[in-house]
Copies of this chain bind each other. A is one copy, B any other.
């Protein structure tokens, strides 16, 4: 049950790092949405390993095959199943991990929970699982723009790498800006420093974390449900369901606790016939429901747990021991996490758009 996300645009991911492959089944997708293998591949390519000098050198083409649910280029309302084969598996690199738990990885807790574990490449806890999410989101975005908001924009970008902070204007930053540099930030000056820091960390066998900011522009008013399934609650869950995440904040976030109500509130004002807010400390969501302003949130990613240094740990035999990281890895997960943050945002929005249509009709 833990591999399902969404209520109406519902995705089920499957697959481990090593094995037959990874993928997703999407149930509840509206029919007659045009989608091509290429569109899905385009998004997967932004996520795939080996795409730049600051990511893992694992070589995976991550070639997607649509197994079902699409006929003559259009969705038919049946489950859409997408499979990506694992190719560049190197299980032998993980033999030591079979007997020792990698610190701050899922090895120990998986063993403790299930009494069994696929140790190769982290098994189910591998970030390869997110392939299914990205593939599904490629379709979610098509649904959103085809049926709910043709001008919808979801743009995520690296906001900080450790203490290097990018200056990015969330009102105007574009996907092209983000894709213009391999670290995927919107600030060319910061990009250089970030890349340098990441390379330095890799050279040192170390790793680094940071934050990703995401802005959603032109989101329809009215998405999100009162009480539990507030839009920001579902976004928080979506983001914290990503590997290596430690925090989420929307709008003013933690910094907003430093303001008084008088300074924090967003006054309403009319702009033509549209209700707007003069400021946006709410981050585009009020009472759990989108208000039409930009939705802005930030996600904290810890430094990559795999490091090339000897660390204290314990064995599966429950004895103290040491382990030095091996295998291919990203010294900083942020550049490849950017498209995944966008993907999870699209999945949340698409799900809530369908929920809104179900309950409240189309207008």
Q: Is the CB of A81 within 8 A of B228?
A: no
Judge whether B67 and A20 touch: CB under 8 Å.
yes
Q: Give the contact stretch, choosing among A174-182, A335-343, A354-362.
A: A354-362
**A160 CB within 8 Å of chain B:** yes
Q: Spot the interface stretch: A21-29, A43-51, A55-63.
A: A21-29
Q: A246-B254, A266-B103 are in contact. Are A233 and B241 (CB under 8 A)?
A: yes
Contact A30 B359 (CB under 8 A): yes
Contacts of A109 in B (CB 8 A): 221-222, 224, 285-291
A139 to chain B, nearest CB (A): 13
The stretch from A2-10, A149-157, A184-192 touching chain B is: A2-10
Dominant secondary structure of chain A at its interface with chain B: mixed
Could you say which residues of chain B place their CB within 8 Å of the CB of A234? 237
A290 to B8, CA, bound (A): 21
In whole angstroms, what is the CA distance A260 to B202 when docked?
11
Instruction: Contact check, B357 vs A355: say whether CB atoms are below 8 A apart.
Output: no
* A324–B112 CA distance with the chains assembled, in angstroms: 54
Given the complex, which residues of B lie within 8 Å of A302, measured CB to CB?
252, 256-257, 259, 264, 281
**What's the Cα separation between A257 and B210 when bound, in Å?**
5
Name which residue of chain B comes closest to A354, CB basis: B358
In the complex, the answer to whether A307 meets B261 with C-beta atoms within 8 Å is yes
> B8 near A27 (CB under 8 angstroms)?
no
**B-chain residues with CB within 8 Å of residue A147 when the two chains form the complex:** 361
Cβ-based interface call for A312 (8 A): yes
The residue in chain B whose Cβ has the minimal distance to the Cβ of A329 is B261
A294 on interface, CB distance cutoff 8 Å = no
Chain B residue nearest to A352 (CB atoms) is: B2
Q: What are the 3 closest A-B residue pairs judged by CB atoms, nearest first?
A: A106-B287, A2-B225, A247-B249
Can you list 29 A-B pairs, Cβ within 8 angstroms, ordered by A?
A3-B25, A14-B69, A16-B68, A16-B71, A16-B76, A19-B67, A71-B116, A76-B117, A76-B118, A77-B113, A104-B266, A106-B286, A109-B288, A112-B289, A113-B224, A233-B240, A247-B247, A247-B249, A247-B256, A248-B249, A249-B254, A256-B302, A257-B303, A259-B302, A264-B303, A265-B305, A268-B312, A268-B313, A357-B361
